[in-house]
Structure formats: structure tokens, C-alpha cells
């Protein structure tokens, strides 16, 4: 609800960014490490492969939507 030009907005944004980055670091250090142990290397690699394939598909969808929007 703050005006983006106010100093309070930038300060709040920096706080949220810090909290977000801390959360991501925590997941990478703790949650993902534990998941690797539980899942195992082979299945973990399969998840990684599926993720990369899906990521490419999603990027292609974004590119297609951009093309479509330029045609309108």
C-alpha cells in the first residue's frame, strides 16, 4: 500500500528481498540436501532432467505468447 516513490517502500522491499533470499538459501542448504539423501542420486538426476525439459517447454510457451501478442 506504500507509494513506490517513498523511502519506506524501498526499505520494505529490501527487507522482503533479504527474507526471500534467506529462505532460498535455507532450502538449498537444508531441504534439498535432505531430499538428495532420501531420493538417491539416480532418481535425483531423473528429476533434474524432467525439470530442465519442462523449463525449456515453459520458455518456448513464453516466446510463443510474446509472438502472438506482437501480432495483435
In this prediction, residues 58-68 reach a mean pLDDT of 87
Confidence of residue 72 (pLDDT cuts 50, 70, 90): low
The residue that leads in pLDDT, 29 or 70, is: 29
- The interaxial angle of helices 32-39 and 41-71, nearest 10 deg, is 120
The Cα angle at residue 62 between residues 68 and 50, in degrees rounded to 5: 140
Say if CB 12 and CB 2 are below 8 A apart: yes
pLDDT tens digit sequence for 11-48: 888 999 999 999 988 888 888 888 888 888 888 889 88
Q: What is the pLDDT of residue 71?
A: 61
Asked whether the CA dihedral 26, 32, 35, 36 is positive or negative, the reply is negative
pLDDT at 18: 95
> How far apart are the C-alpha atoms of 65 and 14, rounded to whole Å?
32
Q: Which pTM was predicted?
A: 0.45
Amino acid at each position: 500500500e506504500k507509494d513506490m516513490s517513498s523511502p519506506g517502500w524501498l526499505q520494505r522491499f529490501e527487507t522482503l528481498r533479504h527474507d526471500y533470499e534467506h529462505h532460498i538459501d535455507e532450502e538449498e542448504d537444508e531441504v534439498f540436501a535432505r531430499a538428495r539423501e532420501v531420493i538417491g542420486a539416480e532418481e535425483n538426476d531423473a528429476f533434474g532432467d524432467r525439470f530442465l525439459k519442462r523449463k525449456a517447454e515453459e520458455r518456448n510457451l513464453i516466446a510463443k505468447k510474446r509472438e502472438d501478442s506482437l501480432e495483435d
